[in-house]
Chain A
Amino acid sequence: MSGMAAVGAGGAERPRLSLRWREAINFYLFLAPWILGFLAFTAIPIIASLFLGFTKYNAISPPDFVGLKNFRFLYDDQIFWKSLRVTLTYTVVFVPLQLVSSLLLAMLLNLRVPSMRTIRTIYYLPSILPTVVTGLVWIWLFNADFGLINFFLYKAFEIRGPNWLGSERWVMSAVIISGLWALGGGVIIFLAALQNVPGEFYEAAELDGANILHRFWHVTVPMISPVILYNLMIAMILSLQVFTRIYVLTQGGPNYASYFYNLYVYDNAFSYLKLGLASAQAWILFVLILLLTVLALRTSGRWVHYSGGV
């Protein structure tokens, strides 16, 4: 009796189980490109670079295990600290500025005004242009003697502008200004989020007598808070890794005043062939990013609202 019942139950269950199996197998087949790519070009390299961080390696002779020597070297290396300070200064100043101006710009671009499509396109233009191209242009805009920036400063305020890219004092401001010029990506994501906020929410708030600032704080910000968090984290991660713009604009100068972290990693790895040292450096940045991301996620519980499960 019990045997028959079991067979019966098994018989009824088998097709459902096999359906679930088929779904799972399909899932992994569809995910195969990602899994293979992840293993080959991400997972294995991560482990390899962690290992290399504890070795001396010049790409020619085999890696030589040196324990914590790379990290001790970096601890005593003034240029390492300088590059870290440059990068953190930039991040602390640039990320909030970028986040706030992207959100404000997205809100302006979200209004229904004639020819808004054209205006949006113009504002997005800077981030379509290749970074190398805009970097080359900024070299000239910042030129002390012929540049448009100093020309405007002179015309408008009769100020003799600084030698932006050639002075240790001003080069960071120049890097930040040129960064704020290309807001594009974050704006697009904010704009997409703003368009998803149901209009009824604003109407309801308005019926309650909420003015434009109230509506911003109590409707817009909570509704798009997951996207604010996303943009904040991405902006942070990207600004800790700035490379291309600096490589073109200043190559790290003058006197290391714009020597960003990844420029030093690149130089150690491919100019001086200190691949072990560069791996250790890369890992320090990785850990720093992990810590900052965890911090952002931890504190986000207080201000991020999820309307549905993500």
Chain B
Amino acid sequence: MAAATTATGPRRMGRRSRERLYKAIALLLLLPGILWVLMPTVWMFSAAFSRLEQIMRWPPDLWPDPWVFSNFYEGFAFLPFGRYFMNSTQIAVIRVMGQVLAASMAGYAFARMQAPGKNLLFILVLSTLMLPYTVTMIPQYIIFQRLGWIDTYLPLIIPHFDGGAFFIFLFRQFFRSIPDELTEAARLDGCSYFGIYWRMMLPLSLPVIAASSILIFQNSWQELLQPLIFLHDNSKYTIPLGLARFRSSYGSSPWHLIMAVSIGAALPPVVLFFIGQRFLLSGIVVSDK
């Protein structure tokens, strides 16, 4: 025991340098990892600017020779990827707006209001996280068929207007972190619940709105199973569905074009991420304080 206490003396002296040592080790671990993380992206870029012959070369040569810029033009013209791009954009934008609105409303209710049945409902919301999509998939297909929604974008959008458990939880956590005094004063002034939500809570929750918009956009943009089930008409395809079909119908053919299109497909979520990045961490409140 005595040995341990004396040992802390010199240790504490070296605290600064020890911190520095940890950081150096961390960087040493992180930097080679970057090569690994970037490798697929680098390959994608290389292939997108190469001729097809270069992709199938041993040993692999990542520097395009020659640089082929027409891959992008050809890729987007080959199948109507320009149209798929617009389809995906339309779906994602509408879904983000509706889902963020619904999730913020439900999150506000759970964070700031009391009502009989509230706890039970909250457990019900969270338990939907456990539900495999395949369970609801088939009855949803039957419902949408009856409604005449097959080959429209409604099945990809409307079911998400419930907000989604994860996003409801995010908004609830965020709203709970806003001090009560702010809203109490407004309530005493006779401000309605909707007024508080719309004029006070939403403007304050910009970080969580940004974070959930990014994540919902990503979810929508990369969804494959739902478009696969609900969209049959070629001209209605989304980008992931178009790419997946491109692969199966053209087998081993124009991979350089696929990669050019893939870069285009990856661009919107990446750009959105860079714009909203600084909100991503501050919008996610996991602890209760």
Contacts and interface: CB of A to CB of B under 8 A. Distances in A.
Given A191-B281, A209-B8, A308-B289, A34 B143 contact: no
Nearest to A154: B59
A206 B18 CA distance: 12
A33 interface: yes
A224 to B, nearest CB: 8
Contacts of B162: 33-34, 36-38, 41-42
| Chain B at the A interface: SS class | helix
B281 A33 contact: no
Nearest to B160: A37
Contacts of B124: 38
B56 A146 contact: yes
B32 interface: no
B240 A37 contact: no
Interface stretch (A77-85, A168-176, A277-285): A277-285
B134 A133 contact: no
Contacts of B7: 209
B150 to A, nearest CB: 11
Contacts of B280: 188
Contact of B136 (A49, A121, A146, A309): A49
B153 interface: no
Contacts of B34: 119, 122-123
A30 B113 contact: yes
Contacts of A105: 33
A92 interface: no
B7 to A, nearest CB: 7
B16 interface: no
Given A24-B114, A49-B139, A310 B168 contact: no
B265 interface: yes
A243 B7 CA distance: 54
A126 B133 CA distance: 24
B197 A30 contact: yes
A113 B244 contact: no
Which residue among B37, B132, B259 has the maximum number of chain A CB atoms within 10 Å of its CB? B132
Contacts of B277: 121
A196 B38 CA distance: 29
Chain A's interface size range is 35 or more
B42 to A, nearest CB: 9
A41 B140 contact: yes
Contacts of A206: 12, 15
Given A269-B137, A307-B288, A286 B132 contact: yes
B273 to A, nearest CB: 5
Contacts of A241: 132-134
Interface string A276-307: 00110111011001100100000000000001
A243 B224 contact: yes
A189 B229 contact: no
Contacts of A40: 143, 159
Interface stretch (B20-28, B73-81, B178-186): B20-28
A130 B136 contact: no
A147 B141 CA distance: 39
Interface in B178-213: 193-194, 197
A121 to B, nearest CB: 7
Contacts of A148: 39, 43, 60
B287 interface: yes
A137 to B, nearest CB: 5
A219 interface: no
Interface string A101-139: 000010011011100000101111110111111101111
B132 A285 contact: yes
Nearest to B144: A41
Contacts of B27: 113
A126 B35 CA distance: 12
Interface of A: 20, 23-24, 26-28, 30-31, 33-34, 36-38, 40-42, 44-46, 48-49, 52, 59, 105, 108-109, 111-113, 119, 121-126, 128-134, 136-141, 145-148, 151, 181, 188-189, 191-193, 195-196, 206-209, 212, 226-227, 230, 233-234, 237, 240-241, 243-244, 247-248, 251, 262, 265-266, 269-270, 275, 278-279, 281-283, 285-286, 289-290, 293, 307-310
Interface of B: 4-5, 7-8, 11-12, 15, 22-23, 26-27, 29-30, 33-34, 36-41, 43-44, 47, 55-60, 101-102, 105-106, 108-110, 113-116, 118, 121, 124-125, 128-143, 145, 158-163, 168, 193-194, 197, 218, 221-222, 224-225, 228-229, 239-240, 243-244, 247-248, 255, 258-259, 262, 265-266, 269-270, 273-274, 277, 280-281, 284-289
Given A128-B218, A196-B286, 20 more contacts: A31-B105, A37-B163, A42-B162, A48-B138, A52-B138, A108-B30, A111-B22, A128-B266, A130-B239, A140-B255, A146-B60, A151-B58, A192-B281, A207-B12, A209-B5, A248-B224, A248-B244, A275-B142, A282-B138, A285-B132
5 contacts: A30-B105, A137-B41, A138-B40, A241-B132, A310-B288
- What are the 7 tightest A-B residue pairs by CB atom distance, in nearest-first order? A37-B162, A45-B139, A130-B222, A27-B115, A48-B139, A30-B109, A24-B115
